Amino acid sequence: MATQAGGSDSYVVFQLAGASYALRSDDVQQLEMVTSPTPVPNAPEHVDGVVAVRGQVIPAVSLRVRFGFPRVAYDVRTRLIVVRARGRTVGLIVDGAREFASIPPESIEPLPEGIGGMSGRYLRGIAHRNDRLLLVVDVAELLDHDVVALAGETEESTDVASEPEPRTAAGAGTLN
């Protein structure tokens, strides 16, 4: 995916619990329909299991649960966003993802006072897009604070999230 469009960074926009979030397109490898993940024994609550994507087994992390929102059943809009940062590949399960947006770096504002805390680890800031707010996710930070290797894994295999901590978190074209 392109990273620059008219001086703006390109982002994939996804929905989660009624809010809109944005991931840099550079960090997104692909979007997939969600299949039933294979459960992994003793995985944290927010790791729904592992899935095979183009021959690679990756963890499927429910961002709803990870961010402290209630779990909901998958539906036809649910998507797996396969992201890669700092050598780690993870599937993020979100409520929907069918948009992209160009967001100029200078339009991303810092998180308001008092919101930073735990969320500040993986939220880069907030951007205004049309009449809505987009919470901009820093994938590298999310994975650094959330993902550890499974015992016996290989370099190209699975990472899973560690120690669940309660998290809170407060357009454009169409992707297929």
149-170 residues labelled b (16+ CB within 10 A) or e (exposed): eeeeeeeeebbbbeeeeebebe
- Tell me, what's the pLDDT at 145? 59
Question: What sections of the chain are H helices per DSSP?
Answer: 63-66, 139-146
- Tell me, what's the pLDDT at 74? 94
Question: Which regions in the chain score pLDDT beneath 70?
Answer: 1-8, 116-120, 145-176
- Tell me, what's the pLDDT at 173? 45
- Tell me, what's the pLDDT at 148? 41
- Tell me, what's the pLDDT at 146? 54
- Tell me, what's the pLDDT at 143? 82
- Tell me, what's the pLDDT at 42? 92
The rounded distance, in Å, linking the Cα atoms of 18 and 99 is: 15
Domains and CATH numbers, the chain: 4-174 (2.40.50.180)
Asked if 5 contacts 58 with a C-beta cutoff of 8 angstroms, the reply is no
Q: Is the pTM of this model over 0.85?
A: no
Asked if 175 contacts 17 with a C-beta cutoff of 8 angstroms, the reply is no
- Please name which of 49, 75, 77 lies closest in space to residue 62, comparing C-alpha atoms: 49
Asked if 108 contacts 125 with a C-beta cutoff of 8 angstroms, the reply is yes
